[in-house]
């Protein structure tokens, strides 16, 4: 069984903001798999089904971003699963809009939701899908991530959410290298993949 968690903040005020890219990505997975978020458990909205032939539990923590780890820890403890069976999807300001990065493990970087998860489960050893939302140095970080993207940016993000859903299926099917090869070299805005910086 795999736990797939999308990170975001609950409530209409945060719906479709840049910081809720993880929620939007996991909604796309649910849509494609016919999974409904019809349970309220583990301080989260949850939906169970199959993806890539594997049993999965989709989880949207309702703890607010900075306490995401509380919810994730509850789920892993209940199902007695190792961190390796967790997949997290979340926004990343250090990646331009239209980019996505898949990693098998690693640090939290600057993301508070990921910091919370790593702190609570005491491990960095779980795959993650980072969804680029870009940044605007003229705005405070909080103001930027808690605003909705422009219509053109949302159109780009919608395509990325489709890619994230496909990547999630590959990852739970044991094909993370294939997912990385397919999506980690997607072009930056205005640049072909050959010019992308690693």
Task: Please give the average pLDDT of every successive group of 10 residues along the chain, which has 198 residues.
Answer: 98 95 98 96 97 96 97 98 98 94 95 97 98 93 94 96 97 96 68 41
In the prediction, which pLDDT does 88 show? 98
In the prediction, which pLDDT does 20 show? 98
Q: State the CB neighbour count (10 A cutoff) for residue 185.
A: 14
The CATH number given to whatever domain includes residue 146 is: 3.40.50.1470
In the prediction, which pLDDT does 186 show? 62
Range of the domain at 47: 2-195
How many domains are there within the chain? 1
Return the beta strands (E) in the chain as ranges.
Answer: 2-6, 39-41, 44-51, 54-61, 86-92, 100-103, 128-132
In the prediction, which pLDDT does 185 show? 72
Per the annotation, the verdict on 122 as an active-site residue is no
Active-site entry in 19, 111, 122, 163: 19
- How far is 8 from 89, CA to CA, in rounded Å? 10
In the prediction, which pLDDT does 197 show? 42
């Amino acid at each position: 069984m795999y736990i797939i968690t999308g990170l975001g903040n609950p409530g209409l005020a945060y719906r479709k903001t840049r910081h809720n890219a993880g929620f939007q990505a996991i909604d796309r997975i649910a849509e494609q798999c016919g999974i409904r978020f019809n349970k309220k458990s583990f301080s989260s909205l949850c939906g169970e089904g199959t993806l890539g032939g594997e049993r999965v539990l989709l989880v949207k923590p309702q703890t607010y971003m900075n306490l995401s780890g509380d919810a994730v820890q509850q789920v892993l403890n209940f199902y007695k699963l190792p961190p390796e069976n967790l997949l997290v999807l979340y926004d990343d300001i250090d990646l331009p809009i239209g980019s996505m990065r898949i990693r098998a493990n690693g640090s939290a970087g600057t993301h508070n939701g990921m910091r919370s998860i790593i702190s609570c489960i005491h491990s960095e050893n779980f795959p993650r899908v980072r969804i680029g939302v870009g940044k605007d140095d003229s705005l405070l970080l909080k103001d930027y991530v808690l605003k909705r993207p422009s219509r053109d940016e949302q159109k780009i993000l919608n395509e990325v959410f489709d890619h994230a859903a496909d990547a999630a299926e590959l990852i739970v099917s044991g094909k993370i290298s294939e997912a990385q090869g397919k999506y980690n070299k997607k072009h930056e805005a205005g640049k072909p993949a050959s010019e992308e910086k690693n």
